Structure 1
Amino acid sequence: MRLVGYGDRMSVPAGGEVAFRISTDHPRVRPEIVRLRRGGGPRHGSAPVEEPVSADLPATVPGRVQHTTSGSHAVTAPLSPRSGLGLALWFRPTLPAAERPLLAVGALVLAVSGTGLVLRDGDRVLLALDVPVAERRWAFAAAVLDGPTARLELHRPGLPVAAAEAATGSVTAAGPLWIGSDGTSGPGLGRTFNGGVARPVVGVPWSAAVTEALACGADPLTLLDPATTSALDLGVDPGGTRVPDRGGLTTGADVHHLPTRGVPGPFWTGTERDFRAAPVEFDALHLHDDDLADAGWDTDLTWAVPADLPSGVYALKITAGTGPTVDTDRIPVVVTPAAPTAPVLVVLPTWTYLAYANWRTYAEYETERLTLYGEDRGIDERDRWLARHPELGRSLYDVHTDGSGVCYSTRLRPIVNVRPDYYTPTTRGFRHFAQDLLLLDWLDGRGEDYAVVTDDEVEQQGVDLLSRYRVVLTGAHPEYCSAGMLDSYLEYTRTGGRLMYLGGNGFYQVTARHPGVPAALEIRRGHAGVATWVSDPGEEHLSATGEPGGLWRLRGRAPNVLAGVGFTAQGFDKGSGYRRTAASADPAVSWVFDGVKAGVGDVFGDEGPGLGGAAGDELDRADVALGTPADAVVLASSVGHSERIALVPEEVDHGYAAPPPGPHPKIHADVVLFHRPGGGAVFSVGSIAWSTAMSHAGGDNDTARVTGNVLDRFKES
């Protein structure tokens, strides 16, 4: 990609400002603001729709290539020059082959590789210890420079101490103290240690007896003068970005690029799994060379959003080049309303967009997906570019270069799959952002008066925001949410609000905003649910909040409690239709099917783009045992699913009995309707594919009619 960019936020209130950062090798870039009305592209079978918007932007801006260096680390302010020094650190390598720094003071670097330890002064090797280190096992390294000699030691629990000593001549160290880095940087992955680090100690030279005591877990401040010793406490405030120094040598260190925190250190006993219960045992950082909190690009232009601009989804459309070499990118931003005047609110699930942001498996596992789909669906070429740029951060479905799961995702970077024309192979076209634009296009076609916000606004403003609207519509896949968001939706429906959950696999994963880096989200997968990785032992709790991660269902908050349905199955071969139930004929609910051709027992919604039906991708079903209200009416259930549609792990039967032949009876999506005490109501469709099917035949279809009937009733009653 020769042209790409990102904004400093995903949403902005009318009257606010959003800054955009751009990278290109073209000499000039032409910017404009457009309103995105509909997603699509050549491979989607439908064209995108956008409208130019008057904006006070320059005709062109200079082009420049901007670079990112990833890699988490911690660093202090510079230390004054010193000729004698002691360095020590516990470390747990997860990718030990390449030499990477553990500790550095200026040009003096203690580093480790698969073959052992090395102490360097710039390019000069002062001392090396050729003893292999074990992958994913804690070890302790210490280097002491005292006058003209240096001593290097490696302590591995259960093994003899390895040590080396040599004359080095006088060495002077000065500069910042780096943890997991040596301060060098360049475009691409950072030169960062991959693995856990804990209990760093820096001070004046010390004896071999002190090294032995430190290796046994002694407090360095009881062995060394606190005034001249650094003992950074890496376990303090795991949701923050700064760690204190218990000694007096530094004023503390800044933690950069979101290493995994709240994780066990070398003296974890396993008695506690929650870092809040035993903070001294959760005193490690897990560093990765592809961690990223902020791509760090400079701003190229700022858009001052007019105070009277209607709420909706807009984009900075940037174009460069001419003729066959023209390049275009659209950087979306949601403009939220200056004041609530519309009866309908659409909440775009931007936390789910961030969870999937820059998901790389389409390009990295393209061959494996042939088996998953049963056909070659191709990929968006932007994914191939993304695979060549691991420094731009991964999704919460990816693993780091060392194989550990990615648990943080930031918006401060180019996110190539949040684009109106992005092609998703999973669904043969539309999913996530591009699909949610189809919902907005449908509302536009009906002439609806609506406003648009994102998950961020719901998280920040809660029920105070939702209660300003008669009806709230979700996007197609609001999977990732916080406790506060669940509380807000539930309170909204209990106090008269009308919620239309127009998707599937929603309200599923425990998620939190990172307090130290508000642009980032955090999850911990735990050991349940649909997942591409699982949490390591002792790493199940979110560093941001301390709460256990994983599924809301396992916290007693299954999606059924809020929405009446919850995630039950997934598969991507084809979509299906819904069969109307006998209950749908009751006069109290039959209005939902006004104008629908399908009668009781008939099937509707078995057509549409992409997977070819309204019930597809990921499916939710009703279950009173999981919290579906007892008075909820199941209006329709999907039928005709193939054996390629699989139950999610938490739905799999346990015990000795064999499952029934053919598709499991739990594999279906349910359309439900129920009312809350206080006048609220909830309508849920149980499928991600629903809103894609609504676009079939220009919106002239039964899936759209059902949705429109409910929207009309919810607005009016």
Structure 2
Amino acid sequence: MTSDLAEENKRMLIGYTDRLSASAGENIKVKVSSDFSSDYVADLVRIFSADPNPDGPGIDLREVPAAFEGTYRSVAKPSRPGSYGIILLRNANITADATFSIRFQPRLLRDSHQVLFSFVTSSGDVVSIGLQKDGLQLEIFGKTSAVPFAFEIGRWYELRLAISERGLHLVGYTVETGSRSFEVRTGHLTGDDAFSKLVLAATPQLGDPQVFTSFFNGRLEAPRLLRGAQLVERLIDAHVPEEEILAFWDFGIDVSTSNIRDRGPLRLDGTFHNLPARAVRGSRWSGEEMCWRHAIDEYAAVHFHEDDLYDCAWVTDFGFNIPQDLPSGVYGIRLKCENAEDIIPFFVRPARNAAKAKVAVLFSTFTYVAYAQNPRGNFDAAYIERRNNWGAYPYHPAEYPEFGLSLYDLHADGSGVMFSSALRPQLLMRPGYFAYVDKRGSGLRHFPADMHLIAWFAAKDIAVDVITDHDLEAEGNKALEEYALVLTVTHPEYHTARTLDAIESFVTGGGSLAYLGGNGFYWRIATDEAYPDAIEVRRGESGVRSWEAEPGEYFHAFDGRYGGLWLKNDRPPQRLVGVGLSAHGDFTGSFYRRTDASYDPQYAWLFEGVDDAILGDFGFSGGGAAGFELDIVDTSLGTPPNTVVLAQSEEYLGDYHCAPEKIVWPQPLAWQSSQIRADICFIPKAHGNFVFSTGSILFCGSLPVNDFNNNISKLLENVVRRCL
């Protein structure tokens, strides 16, 4: 019985959509995996609140009729992480007399097999070469053999495989020294047909040639196919006459895409799958050039990982043709089967050419994707106990690593995760998911925390539209046209140049902006049409970060631009919203105290109905409005000179630190301590518009307290109604 219950608890009902945002009148596709034997039911809900805390605003879902509503067959769909490349060899007959060469750099060594490459025949026979802790492993048409060798992590090697009627002759070299490292000869090849496919960094799964396994963790470079088996003895860097080249796959071409380009005469191009890392250092890197665009041959390598994942590639279960008259808002595809439920959120904008509200909330979908599947390292007994007591969202990323990693994680080989995609279930982006066991509140981050703002708009009966980072990236400033006020959510951390341009243009053109978070506009990311649902980050030499890009790898593969902090790209958030990250610490909230400047009559409208000097000494996020990650004004970093600080936070609980990019030796500890605060500021603009910033991630968590009747709520209401 216990075993049956365990199996029951492992069963999962989960899904994702093909896009996070759509306009009324457009279509959204829904992809579902169900481990249950019975059918599941799908319907549509509008989400107004996502807080599972029984003492908080609760989870507020309201059913909406939809054409797709009904019953669907349960089908379990696997998620298959692991990056690899496939090259179809077409009419290239290489089983008789040819040499294949490739360079590789192992980044992870262990007892299990990691395949460097595989040649596959049309009938499915395989010749593959892989490595493990004690040397190479060869698989030749079902027979395996070992070549003992002590590989070193991070060292480049070159492998040359001569293919002839007499069999295989394998020679390995250490690139740095040019010395021969290993050698082996095998007997006559017994395959019945020619090789039809070359697989890089993986091998076909036994019994299912469309599925791949035994992924390589490391870098590959410069695979070549040459005429003549005798070329196994020739250095790859030596001149090879053009007539001897059958194929030369140059990973320095089309770096931002999934293309594998062949510079040889047969043009045997291929495709990378699951987004391995490109624009990384190869064996020829000299250290003289830090931008891959200026030394392509030094960055013509690809870093593969067993846990890369771009697209789960689940088939579509059903689509939703969004009605033209569906109001803009946050909606969810609700799935139910037996005792399981999942709600997949998505955002609906007004129909094209339809009337808009005066106010819009900009949801940080790039940040959601950046954090997708981040387990935070706090999945323990206390978390499970609270989850059960609250009836909170039941799935945690630590339990489901098959859905990939976040930009805060490390790959299995210890390298930082540079790419994240929306084409997979995003467990953190769910109603009822909480991030922390918050003793003073709900412990929400990102999407569930941001829904406190939508709940506030509903409570105040103020019409509001929703837009997303993805919309700004697709449409630029056009997505913000006609709005008088745009409000951010709690953590707009990740932005592209295009999204920043759109926001800046909106403010310059007369729109008002309310920045209701902290640690915003912080990391520069890149996107690319080849991977439209992915974002890329290269974490530079500064900033609050869980890993740092390797030397020479600070430039994005997607757009070729320098990554890292927007501050280090000379676009500090202080210039846009008056404040920028200054400190970070525990998930604990404190309060703000109004400044003398806030009592100036010209700001009386902001504080109408607010008689308190202390603001936000309460909240469902850490117990207070100011905390966790804090932003302050800083004229040296671009805060406009006419910025007015209306309130500053005080008395922090727990452990807080000054942001590392602000610390320059020999700044005293007293100065660093002075930076640990949050500033609420106001910036009047030329057209009578303004920028209002709160400087704290936890600010919106105070809105629902006392049924949305409190000084934080009133302050925000004054800001919003000013623009109505």
Scaled by the length of structure 2, the TM-score of the pair is 0.91
SS in 2 for 1:153: strand
> How far did residue 175 of structure 1 move?
2.1
> How far did residue 401 of structure 1 move?
0.9
Alignment equivalent of 1:610, drawn from 621, 625, 633: 621
1:255-301: CA deviation from partner (whole Å, max 9, x where unpaired): 11110111111001010110011111110000001101100111111
> How far did residue 455 of structure 1 move?
0.5
Change in CA separation of 1:573 and 1:60 when aligned onto 2, cut-off 3 Å: closer
Task: Tell me, yes or no, if the aligned pair for 2:393 and 2:431 is still in contact at 8 Å.
Answer: no
Alignment equivalent of 1:198, drawn from 221, 240, 263: 221
- What amino acid does structure 1 have at the position aligned with 2:19? R
1:657-695: CA deviation from partner (whole Å, max 9, x where unpaired): 54129x800110000101223443100000010011111
Change in CA separation of 1:440 and 1:382 when aligned onto 2, cut-off 3 Å: closer
1:538-581: CA deviation from partner (whole Å, max 9, x where unpaired): 21111111111110011111100000000111122420110100
- What amino acid does structure 2 have at the position aligned with 1:621? I
Task: Tell me, yes or no, if the aligned pair for 1:346 and 1:474 is still in contact at 8 Å.
Answer: yes
Partner of 2:599: 585
Alignment equivalent of 2:659, drawn from 639, 648, 665: 648
1:486-497 aligned at under 5 Å gives the runs: 486-497=500-511
Partner of 2:276: 259
Alignment equivalent of 1:146, drawn from 150, 164, 180: 164
Partner of 2:23: 13
Matched, 1:546 2:565: no
Matched, 1:76 2:87: yes
Identity in percent:
32
Partner of 1:346: 361
Alignment equivalent of 1:234, drawn from 226, 248, 251: 251
SS in 2 for 1:232: strand
Segment of structure 1 superposing worse, 9-18 or 461-470: 461-470
> How far did residue 387 of structure 1 move?
2.8
Partner of 1:35: 46
Task: Tell me, yes or no, if the aligned pair for 1:567 and 1:620 is still in contact at 8 Å.
Answer: yes
> How far did residue 391 of structure 1 move?
2.7
Q: Distance in 1 between matches of 2:117 and 2:211?
A: 21
Pairwise CA RMSD: 2.3
Task: Tell me, yes or no, if the aligned pair for 1:188 and 1:391 is still in contact at 8 Å.
Answer: no
1:470-506: CA deviation from partner (whole Å, max 9, x where unpaired): 1111111100001111111112111111001111111
Partner of 1:93: 106
Change in CA separation of 1:714 and 1:445 when aligned onto 2, cut-off 3 Å: same
> How far did residue 99 of structure 1 move?
1.9
> How far did residue 653 of structure 1 move?
4.2
Scaled by the length of structure 1, the TM-score of the pair is 0.92
Change in CA separation of 1:278 and 1:565 when aligned onto 2, cut-off 3 Å: same
Segment of structure 1 superposing worse, 149-158 or 192-201: 149-158
Partner of 2:304: 287
Q: Distance in 2 between matches of 1:14 and 1:314?
A: 12
Change in CA separation of 1:77 and 1:150 when aligned onto 2, cut-off 3 Å: closer
Partner of 2:344: 331
Task: Tell me, yes or no, if the aligned pair for 2:539 and 2:547 is still in contact at 8 Å.
Answer: yes
Q: Distance in 1 between matches of 2:128 and 2:67?
A: 50
Change in CA separation of 1:253 and 1:528 when aligned onto 2, cut-off 3 Å: same
Change in CA separation of 1:150 and 1:542 when aligned onto 2, cut-off 3 Å: same
Partner of 1:305: 322
Task: Tell me, yes or no, if the aligned pair for 1:195 and 1:287 is still in contact at 8 Å.
Answer: yes
1:65-464 aligned at under 5 Å gives the runs: 65-80=76-91, 82-84=94-96, 85-97=98-110, 98-106=112-120, 107-125=126-144, 128-156=146-174, 157-158=176-177, 160-172=179-191, 173-184=194-205, 190-208=213-231, 211-214=233-236, 217-218=237-238, 220=240, 222=241, 225-226=244-245, 229-321=246-338, 326-338=339-351, 339-362=354-377, 386-425=397-436, 428-464=442-478
Q: Distance in 1 between matches of 2:62 and 2:394?
A: 27
Q: Distance in 1 between matches of 2:223 and 2:45?
A: 51
SS in 1 for 2:205: coil
1:51-96: CA deviation from partner (whole Å, max 9, x where unpaired): 1001012421011111021111111124445423422111111112
Change in CA separation of 1:44 and 1:250 when aligned onto 2, cut-off 3 Å: farther
1:21-75: CA deviation from partner (whole Å, max 9, x where unpaired): 1111222101110000111215674420011001012421011111021111111
Alignment equivalent of 1:523, drawn from 531, 534, 537: 537
> How far did residue 388 of structure 1 move?
4.1
Q: Distance in 1 between matches of 2:427 and 2:661?
A: 32
Q: Distance in 1 between matches of 2:35 and 2:76?
A: 6
> How far did residue 149 of structure 1 move?
3.3
Change in CA separation of 1:237 and 1:63 when aligned onto 2, cut-off 3 Å: same
Q: Distance in 2 between matches of 1:176 and 1:135?
A: 28
Partner of 2:32: 22
> How far did residue 515 of structure 1 move?
2.7
Alignment equivalent of 2:695, drawn from 649, 670, 686: 686
Task: Tell me, yes or no, if the aligned pair for 2:643 and 2:684 is still in contact at 8 Å.
Answer: yes
- What amino acid does structure 2 have at the position aligned with 1:16? E
1:561-619: CA deviation from partner (whole Å, max 9, x where unpaired): 00000011112242011010011111112321111121xxx311111113011001211
Task: Tell me, yes or no, if the aligned pair for 2:14 and 2:34 is still in contact at 8 Å.
Answer: yes
Q: Distance in 2 between matches of 1:658 and 1:189?
A: 55
Q: Distance in 1 between matches of 2:530 and 2:205?
A: 24
Partner of 2:578: 564
Task: Tell me, yes or no, if the aligned pair for 1:238 and 1:261 is still in contact at 8 Å.
Answer: yes
Query: What stretches of structure 1 of length at least 5 have no aligned partner?
Result: none
- What amino acid does structure 1 have at the position aligned with 2:235? A
SS in 2 for 1:213: coil
SS in 2 for 1:88: strand
> How far did residue 382 of structure 1 move?
6.6
SS in 2 for 1:473: strand
Task: Tell me, yes or no, if the aligned pair for 1:70 and 1:190 is still in contact at 8 Å.
Answer: no
SS in 2 for 1:387: helix
Task: Tell me, yes or no, if the aligned pair for 1:363 and 1:383 is still in contact at 8 Å.
Answer: no
SS in 2 for 1:302: strand
SS in 2 for 1:591: coil
Task: Tell me, yes or no, if the aligned pair for 2:518 and 2:630 is still in contact at 8 Å.
Answer: yes
Matched, 1:709 2:718: yes
Q: Distance in 2 between matches of 1:643 and 1:159?
A: 55
Partner of 2:6: none
Query: What stretches of structure 2 of length at least 5 have no aligned partner?
Result: 1-10, 121-125
Alignment equivalent of 2:68, drawn from 36, 54, 57: 57
SS in 1 for 2:82: coil
Matched, 1:503 2:525: no
- What amino acid does structure 2 have at the position aligned with 1:703? I
SS in 1 for 2:601: coil
Task: Tell me, yes or no, if the aligned pair for 1:347 and 1:452 is still in contact at 8 Å.
Answer: yes
Task: Tell me, yes or no, if the aligned pair for 2:542 and 2:661 is still in contact at 8 Å.
Answer: yes
Q: Distance in 2 between matches of 1:463 and 1:236?
A: 33
